[in-house]
Structures are given as structure tokens and as C-alpha cells.
Amino acid sequence: MTKKTIKGLADVIDRNISTLLEVRRQLEIRKSPMMKVAGAITGFCGSFLFVYLHIIWFGVWLLWNTGLLGLEPFDAYPFGLLTTTVSLEAIFLSMFVLINQNRMTELADQRADLDLQVNLLAEYEITKVLRIVDAISDHFDIEVGKDPELEELKIQISPDMVLQEMEKMKHALT
């Protein structure tokens, strides 16, 4: 458990962090072996070690094949073997990156769906609270004020209507 800095809030934060970490752990466990391999490859290829190894590899290759190391060149200029090797590496690396990117997109879609569900629930709860507070103020004859937005805020919002309106506005702009 973390140090509680805000009374009543730290437990909730701890629970949420634990839940998120457990979800991530479960997602890692459920990854197929091929997804783990693709993730490991793209993780390594996105590192500075990978860059440094390539600098050394290309440097040695060029020095060797230009004769500067005093060794017999095996891939003379314009370095056709090096070009073929690098092209094949690029093809395979791009496939692994795309595989990993598809997985990341899937996870991002799941997070977006969760965010939408939480936002819809929060909007519904806030609308209910506004209605209850308004009813309480009416019951006790408390003058809340003449806020024209209050009545609008108490209306239940339909996500379908919002999406339709967004599409209309998008088409109007294009």
C-alpha cells in the first residue's frame, strides 16, 4: 500500500492502480507466443543498442569491403550483398512492427471503449444528481438561481444523438 496523502482518496487510488496493473498482467499472460516474440523483437529494434550494433556492423562491413582493414573484400562496391541483407531486414522488421502495432491498436480500442463506458456512466450519474439537487431545492423552496443551462444539464444525453450530431458537423465542415 502507498502512503495515504489524502484521507479517503488514497485507498481508491491504490485499488485503481492495483486493478490496472492486474489487467495489464492478465493481458501479458494471454499474449500468444508469437505476439511475445514480435513484442520482444520490436522492443529490441527500438533500442539504442540496436542502433549501436548497426553502426558497428555497417562500419565493419564498409571498412572490410573497401579494403581498409587489409582483408579480402567479399562484397565490393556498390555492396549488393549488404543492400540485399538490409532490405530483407527492413521487410521483416516492418512486419514485426505492424504485428505489434495491431496489438497496440487493439489495446487502445479496449481502453477507448472503457473510457466511453465510464464517461457515459459519469454523465448519467451527474444528470441524476442534478435532478435530485434541483428537487431538494424545490422541496425546501431554495432559490438556486435562474441558470438557463441548469434545465439543459438535467436532460439525459443520448450517445447516439451526440455521434449523429458530430457526423453532421463533420460533413458540414468538409
pLDDT in tens, the chain (174 residues): 445 555 556 787 888 888 888 888 988 888 889 988 998 999 999 999 999 999 999 999 999 999 999 999 999 999 999 999 999 999 999 999 999 999 899 889 988 988 888 888 888 899 889 888 888 888 888 776 566 777 777 787 787 888 888 888 888 988
Q: What pLDDT score was predicted for residue 30?
A: 87
* Predicted pLDDT of residue 7: 58
pLDDT confidence of residue 67: 92
Q: Is residue 74 in some structural domain?
A: yes
In what helix (H) or strand (E) does residue 74 lie, and over which residues does it extend? Answer: none
pLDDT value at position 136?
87
Task: For residue 61, give the nearest of 49, 47, 46, 76 by alpha carbon.
Answer: 76
Is there a domain that residue 124 lies in? Answer: yes
In a domain, 130, yes or no: yes
Q: What is the reported pLDDT for 2? A: 47
C-alpha to C-alpha distance for 107 and 41, rounded to whole angstroms: 19
154 contacts 124 by C-beta, under 8 angstroms: no
Does 5 map to a domain? no
The model carries a pTM of 0.63
Domain range enclosing 119? 17-173
Q: Is residue 161 part of a domain?
A: yes
Task: Specify if 116 maps to a domain.
Answer: yes
**CA 19 from chain center: how many Å?**
17
Q: What 3-state class would DSSP assign to 6? A: coil
Number of domains in the chain: 1
Q: What is the pLDDT of residue 1?
A: 44
Domain-located, residue 12: no
DSSP string of 12-72, one letter each residue: HHHHHHHHHHHHHHHHHHHS-HHHHHHHHHHHHHTSHHHHHHHHHHHHHHHHHHTTTTSSP
pLDDT score for 147: 67
Is 10 a domain residue? Answer: no
55/73 Cα distance (integer angstroms)? 19
Sequence-ordered list of residues with C-beta below 8 angstroms from that of 14, at least 6 positions apart, any chain: 1, 2
